[in-house]
Amino acid sequence: MKELLSKIKAFFCGKNAHAKNAVRYFLIVVAFLMFLFFSNDFDLINIQQSAIVMAIGIDKEEEGFSITSQIAVPSASSSQGEKGSKTVNVVTKGKTVAQALEKVNEKTGWYPKLVFCRLLVLGESATQENVFDCLEYFLRDEYITDGCLLAACDGKAEELLSTQTPIDASGALAIEKVLSNHAERVGASLPNTLRLFAASYFGEAKSGFLPLVKAEPLSPQEQGQGGGSESSSSGQTGQSGQNGEKSGGQSGQESQPEKVFSASETTLFVDGKRIGKLSKEESFLYALVKNQLRLASYTLPYGQETYTMTIKRSSPSVKLEVGKEAKLTVELALTAGVADASQAKDLPDTADEGDFPKPLLQEASKKLEEDIRALFEKCRALGFDLFDAIDKLQKYENEHFEDKKDTLLQEVGLSVKVAVRGIR
């Protein structure tokens, strides 16, 4: 003890011959503590006590929020002959989202870890009022990334996340598949993230969109073929607990019809409230103008037949000009080829210079122009800024912004030009 005191004294006073060593000891202690400082959590991450939340479903109720947390449960795969990891849906309620999430810990003893949460699903009730009543917590919270996928659903988010699917043991992972980058690239869905949705909400137009996730039942034949392998590790038993709260393991004891997910429809939001939705075809058109699609499939009737084209590349451009009248110009350059027809065709007929492609491409161009105009008018009537006209007004025609921002959407004219270039 005396030696230690003399070393401390030496360090501060510098008169001791061992002062140099004291500094070294001090540096070692500092280095060790800095290591702890930068990599703490040694004692706090305990896999047995942590709930790795993969997805969260949010439903609004009269007295607050109902949160469904889909939690991954690590388990030894060989123990019961199960494949894949188990998931558990824990339903908790609270006056606020944070309170409801906190109850996961109260009910299960698991501390909910949101760092791996990649999906938020809003139930229909949550989208009837400002969705940011539900989302504010996730925007503020530093432990969940706002890069997570955000989606809406009809009905309850709890039911959607509890859906048994042959695609994956976890409903959340199966939903993420239909909202993947690939699905976005081929125009199959219009995924959105919390960050981008919130950015559009806080923007001038206050318009945003979310993919509408649906669980679609498989036919009995399909269920027979695909449902066997992982069904034992999916599904929610839905045991009732106190206060109407439920927590259920994925026991697989109850047989529920298996479903697959789709996100081909899109919900529209203005001021954070759901104001309408786009059908599958309309969503595809929106994707065509919004994103640069690759290898997208487009089917159209022509004559007595139906043709499917593969859009190998789409290059959209939307410009706003404000003169005496405001005008939006949508230009869409597509490179597409005929992939198939409802009746067999000779190969030369569907080739680049064959009989069919040219008039078919013209027909496609004409139909796309009409459909895009109709889509725009539908959204205009809903007050939804489909082509970000207000955003463009602010960025590129800022001198007119204050005068026009409130009336632009109703006044703006639309010109659509679709050029389809054929390619095999």
Partner 1 sequence: MIKDYKLPAVNTRQLCFLIAFLFPIARFLEAPRLLASAAKGDLLIPALLSLLLQGASIAAFLFLSYKTDKTLFQLIENALGKWVAKAVYFLLTAYYLFAAVLPLLDLEKFSYAAFFDTAPTTFSFAPFFLLSAFLCTKNFKAVGRSADLCLFLFLLPFAGILLMSIGSGDFSSLLPVFSEPFKSSLKAVAVTKPHFADGALLLPLLGSYKYEKGAAKKAGVAFAVSVLFTLLFLAFFYSVYTTLSPREHYAFAKIAQYFPALAVVGRIDLILVYLLSIVYLFYACLPLQLAVDCFCKAVNLEKKGLYSAVLHIGLFVFVLFFNSRYDAVYALYSQYLYPLFFLFADLLPLLFPLLLIKKKTKAGTK
How does DSSP classify residue 188?
Answer: S
Q: Which of 115, 295, 374, 381 binds partner 1 (CB under 8 A)?
A: 115
Q: Does 41 bind partner 1 (CB under 8 A)?
A: yes
Cβ closest to partner 1, residue 96 vs residue 145: 145
Q: Which of 4, 28, 29, 295 binds partner 1 (CB under 8 A)?
A: 29
CA distance 209 to 287: 11
Q: Which of 4, 28, 34, 381 binds partner 1 (CB under 8 A)?
A: 34
Long-range contacts of 102-110 (CB under 8 A, 24+ apart): 103/245, 104/51, 104/53, 104/69, 104/71, 105/51, 107/241, 107/245, 107/247, 108/51, 108/247, 109/49, 110/49, 110/50, 110/51, 110/71
The encoded tokens of residue 413 equal 């004219």
Q: Taking contact as CB under 8 A, which single stretch among the options 94-102, 113-121, 209-217, 266-274 is the one that binds partner 1?
A: 113-121
Q: Name the amino acid, one letter, at 424.
A: R
Q: Does 28 bind partner 1 (CB under 8 A)?
A: no
CA distance 167 to 338: 31
Residue 262 CB, shortest distance to partner 1, in Å, is 22
CA distances from 39 to 42, 44, 50, 294 (A): 8, 11, 18, 43
Cβ closest to partner 1, residue 12 vs residue 61: 12
Q: Which of 74, 109, 147, 155 binds partner 1 (CB under 8 A)?
A: 147
Q: Does 214 bind partner 1 (CB under 8 A)?
A: no
CA distance 68 to 243: 15
CA distance 122 to 211: 10
The encoded tokens of residue 381 equal 């009537």
Question: Mask 183-202, x = binds partner 1 (CB under 8 A)?
Answer: ------------x--xxx-x
208 - beta bridge partners? 269
CA distance 297 to 275: 28
Cβ closest to partner 1, residue 107 vs residue 373: 107
Q: Which of 4, 28, 33, 374 binds partner 1 (CB under 8 A)?
A: 33
Q: Which of 4, 36, 374, 381 binds partner 1 (CB under 8 A)?
A: 36
Residue whose structure tokens are 């529209």: 268
Q: Does 381 bind partner 1 (CB under 8 A)?
A: no
Residue whose structure tokens are 């065509």: 288
Q: Does 47 bind partner 1 (CB under 8 A)?
A: no
Cβ closest to partner 1, residue 46 vs residue 407: 46
CA distance 179 to 173: 10
- Binding-site size for partner 1 (CB under 8 A) equals 42
Cβ closest to partner 1, residue 205 vs residue 420: 205
Q: Which of 1, 5, 17, 39 binds partner 1 (CB under 8 A)?
A: 39
Cβ closest to partner 1, residue 111 vs residue 302: 111
Q: Does 394 bind partner 1 (CB under 8 A)?
A: yes
CA distance 141 to 102: 13
Q: Does 11 bind partner 1 (CB under 8 A)?
A: yes
Residue whose structure tokens are 């005496």: 324
Q: Which of 16, 64, 94, 139 binds partner 1 (CB under 8 A)?
A: 139
Q: Does 113 bind partner 1 (CB under 8 A)?
A: yes
Q: Does 12 bind partner 1 (CB under 8 A)?
A: yes
Q: Which of 99, 130, 145, 237 binds partner 1 (CB under 8 A)?
A: 145
* Beta-carbon-side half-sphere exposure of residue 413 (alpha carbons within 13 Å): 8
Q: Which of 75, 77, 109, 143 binds partner 1 (CB under 8 A)?
A: 143
Q: Does 111 bind partner 1 (CB under 8 A)?
A: yes
Cβ closest to partner 1, residue 199 vs residue 295: 199
Q: Taking contact as CB under 8 A, which single stretch among the options 27-35, 66-74, 208-216, 350-358 is the one that binds partner 1?
A: 27-35
Residues 368 and 256: beta-carbon distance below 8 Å: no
User: In sequence order, what are the residues at sequence separation of 6 or more whose Cβ sits closer than 8 angstroms to the Cβ of residue 158?
Assistant: 57, 59, 66, 68, 89, 91, 123
Residue whose structure tokens are 């690239």: 185
Q: Which of residues 155-184 bind partner 1 (CB under 8 A)?
A: 181
User: In sequence order, what are the residues at sequence separation of 6 or more whose Cβ sits closer than 8 angstroms to the Cβ of residue 228?
Assistant: none
Residues 347 and 341: beta-carbon distance below 8 Å: no
Q: Does 45 bind partner 1 (CB under 8 A)?
A: yes
Which residues of the shown chain bind partner 1 in the complex (CB under 8 A)? Answer: 11-14, 23, 26-27, 29-30, 33-34, 36-41, 44-45, 111, 113, 115, 118, 139-140, 142-143, 145-147, 181, 195, 198-200, 202-203, 394-396, 398, 401
